[in-house]
Chain A
Amino acid sequence: MTASRLLFVDDEEGFLELYRAAFSRDGYAVETTATIEGARERLAQGGIDLVILDIRLGEVSGLALLREIKAKDSSLPVVLSTAYARYQDDFSSWLADAYVVKSSELGELRQAVRRCLGGSL
């Protein structure tokens, strides 16, 4: 069985390193990018099963990318991962399939990923 392919979008390289290490060990195929442009290019190529998106990407809002993704393919699940709990109140964030507040404990993010993928790797 082919492992689900995750795309992590976060402007902080440290988090990308963490996600690569943790989710690769969980058996996922992990790809990362630090910019919205990088995410657009990679999504255009296809093959991504789930996007894990940081909201604050430098000076740019990840919510714009969320809207783009959902406009093109509403079936592609997106998990918002951010330190901003208050973005849960933003209507745009409601498009996301899950919303996870960043934590040193990755359990909640792992659960969200599994749930969005229907329990499969």
Chain B
Amino acid sequence: MSGRNLPKRSQARGHPARGRHRARGPVLRRIRPQRVLDLLRRVSEVLETVVDPEVAAWSVLVAYTAGEGLGFNRAFLLLAEEDQIRGWFGVGPRSRDEARELWTDLRQRGILPLDRLTEPDLEAVEAERRRHAATLAALSHDAVKGCGSWQRAFIARSHHPNSCVRHWAAVLDTRELAVVPLMAGDRPWGVVIADNFVTHAPIYYATLEAAETLAHYLRAALERTQLLLRFQEEKRRRMLAEHATALLDTARTLAHDLKNPLALAGGLAHEMMTAPPSDREGFTRQLGIVTAAVTRAEQRVAELVAGLASRADGISLGPVEVGALAERVTNAFRPLATGRQVRLLCYHPGRPLMAAAAIPSLERCLENLLSNALEALGESGGEIQVAVREDSGWVRLMVADNGLPLPAPMRVDPFAGGITTRRGGSGLGLASVRTLAEAMGGRVEYDEVDPGWVRFTLFLRRWS
């Protein structure tokens, strides 16, 4: 998403410095420093919580283009990759007609793009990337000597001496282009370029300085998020490898545990067909062995299927009385809850409800969910309800609180991990719950079905 308030024509035309300085460089006028500081603080806070590189780029470029931001008409991020400076993300209208349509729409709907930063619409971010794909591809340029290696931001025009700058200006068909280089040591890391191709508004020094600062924020956020992505990918690959090994081992065990009874049943049945026992007693005995072997194979299949997920994660499942465990863990949290004016309730049926679980893993799940609920309630108090219920083949362990709702980015997938909010701490707690739940052959779900309540439900297989 991009956009800005339509500029007042008098602002662009009436500025006394515009005519004199347009041909030589940025206009020597400062925008209000407090507004810039507020913008930088706001963007900085947003970037702290961003875990996706594209969202980071979108956030900063929206700050470039928003009317209440730096007010550029459009902005693009280009990244240095080996021998090329490649267009990576863009925000803003693609044409003058599109600009008028977009800005009018934003103004009529009273939308301030900066307000969207705290809750980015991932689909809109993706749409913005796709919308600018052709322009970004066209902006890509060989990293010829000197391209991207500038020390400071500057305003460029179509006759700029560097060929890649001339290329960008030509692709964007623009008169003035703010070029904000980002260096990694003595090598170019990337470039942010922005212009006012619709309004032709002058670019102020202070704006350029703020643009430079924002670009540095963006670089830090991109490096952090890309590192996080690499870490997550590495972790995913490692887990896949571990799972593959565990599954192979399980498959071998399965083959053995099934092969014995099946070989026995099949072999004896074949023998009985080939040479049926002459006496009824012998026939009955051999048939009994075949039946017992088949039954044993069936039991092994059931056991192995139930334990498959747990073996893959190295967790040994056994019967766990969920109600007693819930009571014990809840009681451990009671002093903390009391100190925070939080009412902590635990409901479970009087009779034992046995689930296939690992006690340490289940305890960790419940501890994480309770910590998450306490964080959501903050210091203002509230109520947390823990409940254990039976649901056909499952045992449900629910933790509900009437604290803060989940932030929008987390609602898409609260268990994805990495999103830092007041609810969820590092963002890894809920991800850990899902990993552990799945390792125990179960799952975890989230809902806000009851107004004012956030509920997480852990589904565990009943032990039979």
Residues of A within 8 A of B (CB): 12-15, 17-18, 21-22, 25, 83-84, 86, 101-106
Contact = CB atoms under 8 A, between A and B. Distances in A.
Contacts of A22: 267, 271
Contacts of B292: 14
A-B pairs, 9 with minimum CB distance: A104-B266, A14-B289, A83-B259, A104-B267, A102-B263, A14-B264, A83-B256, A18-B268, A83-B260
A41 to B, nearest CB: 25
A21 B256 contact: no
Contact of A14 (B256, B259, B270, B293): B293
Contacts of B255: 83
A22 to B, nearest CB: 5
Contacts of A105: 266-267, 270
B264 A18 contact: yes
Nearest to B267: A104
Interface in B102-136: none
A9 B243 CA distance: 37
A21 B271 contact: yes
Contacts of B274: 25
A86 B271 CA distance: 27
B412 interface: no
B285 interface: yes
B262 interface: yes
B267 to A, nearest CB: 4
A103 B285 CA distance: 20
A84 B274 CA distance: 27
B275 interface: yes
A104 B256 contact: no
Given A86-B252, A104-B270, A12 B264 contact: yes
B364 to A, nearest CB: 33
Interface string B264-298: 11111111001101000000011001001100000
Interface residues of B, number: 23
Nearest to A14: B289
Nearest to B293: A14
Given A21-B275, A25-B275, 4 more contacts: A104-B263, A104-B265, A104-B267, A104-B269
B264 A21 contact: no
A102 B259 contact: yes
Given A14-B293, A17-B285, A21-B286, A84 B256 contact: yes
A10 to B, nearest CB: 10
A59 B269 CA distance: 28
A116 B460 CA distance: 54
A102 B259 CA distance: 8
A103 B259 CA distance: 7
Given A102-B260, A103-B263, A14 B268 contact: yes
Contacts of A21: 268, 271, 275, 277, 286
A17 B264 CA distance: 10
29 contacts: A12-B260, A12-B264, A13-B289, A14-B264, A14-B268, A14-B289, A15-B264, A17-B285, A18-B264, A18-B271, A21-B277, A21-B286, A22-B267, A22-B271, A25-B274, A25-B275, A83-B259, A83-B263, A102-B259, A103-B259, A103-B263, A103-B266, A103-B267, A104-B262, A104-B266, A104-B267, A104-B269, A105-B267, A105-B270
A101 B263 CA distance: 10
Max chain A C-beta neighbours (<10 A), residue from B263, B265, B266, B275: B263
Contacts of B270: 104-106
A14 B269 CA distance: 11
Contacts of B260: 12, 83, 102
A105 B252 CA distance: 20
Given A83-B263, A102-B263, A17 B275 contact: no
A18 B275 contact: no
Contacts of B267: 15, 18, 22, 103-106
Nearest to A104: B266
B268 A17 contact: yes
Contacts of B293: 14
B73 to A, nearest CB: 68
B93 to A, nearest CB: 66
Nearest to B296: A14
Contacts of A14: 264, 268, 289, 292-293
B220 to A, nearest CB: 52
A100 to B, nearest CB: 11
A83 to B, nearest CB: 4
A104 B268 CA distance: 7
B276 to A, nearest CB: 10
Contacts of A106: 267, 270-271
